[in-house]
Amino acid sequence: MLQRGANINCIDKDGCTPLICAASNGDEYLIRLLLEKGANLENEDYMAFTALIWAAKNGHQGVVKQLLEKGAIVDRMDCGDCTSLTYAAIEGHEGVARLLLEKGANPEYGDTKGYTPLIWAAKKGHEGIFRLLVEKGANIEHEDDRGCTPLA
């Protein structure tokens, strides 16, 4: 289809591009092909999820690595002010979180409730991610909108 001129950045009814769909599904081969053909890394779906956010949320470490290597913005936020690192912390994807932090993800960005990745890791019981975030300088004294810290 691409050889016949199909729009590589076409959008479906949910705002998903082929790159977003491939990232969500963890299709490393298709990601590579789409990136080689010039797919836009920063297109968003209706929730303002980028390909990187979907890959991080679903734990597709290889896809996250590919997208970061091609220059995906590591701290892009969705409509709820969540970043890729936030979703890695929520879902317990430690390898993904490590990759994002290595590429400069800010562990202090909070969502609309003031929950940082560290607070989410604590809430969800993801001890490995919690330790990783603390090791990378996350603030254990940060308070969410209710005044709770990650240790509360």
CATH 1.25.40.20 in the chain is located at 1-73, 74-152
Cβ contact 67:23 at 8 Å? yes
> Which of 67, 143, 60, 129 is closest to 101 using CA atoms?
129
What are the tens digits of pLDDT across the range 38-89?
A: 999 999 999 999 999 999 999 999 999 999 999 999 999 999 999 999 999 9
Q: Which two tokens stand for residue 102?
A: 């290595």
Q: Which two tokens stand for residue 14?
A: 């949910």
Quote the pLDDT of residue 2.
55
Cβ contact 100:74 at 8 Å? yes
Calculate the alpha carbon distances from 62 to 15, 99, 138 in Å.
23, 10, 25
Quote the pLDDT of residue 4.
62
Quote the pLDDT of residue 147.
94
Contacts of 3 (CB under 8 A, 6+ apart): none
Quickly tell me which residue has 């993904």 as its tokens. 96
Helices (H), 1-116: 18-25, 28-36, 51-57, 61-69, 84-91, 94-102
pLDDT at 22 over 70: yes
Instruction: Give the CATH class of 1-73.
Output: mainly alpha
Quickly tell me which residue has 């729009």 as its tokens. 7
Quick one: pLDDT band at residue 15, thresholds 50, 70, 90? confident
Q: Which two tokens stand for residue 108?
A: 């202090």
What distance, in Å, lies between the first and last C-alpha atoms of the chain? 53
Quickly tell me which residue has 């390898």 as its tokens. 95
CATH of domain 74-152: 1.25.40.20
Quickly tell me which residue has 């019981």 as its tokens. 125
Quote the pLDDT of residue 5.
62
What are the tens digits of pLDDT across the range 52-61?
A: 999 999 999 9
Mean pLDDT of the 10-32 span: 94
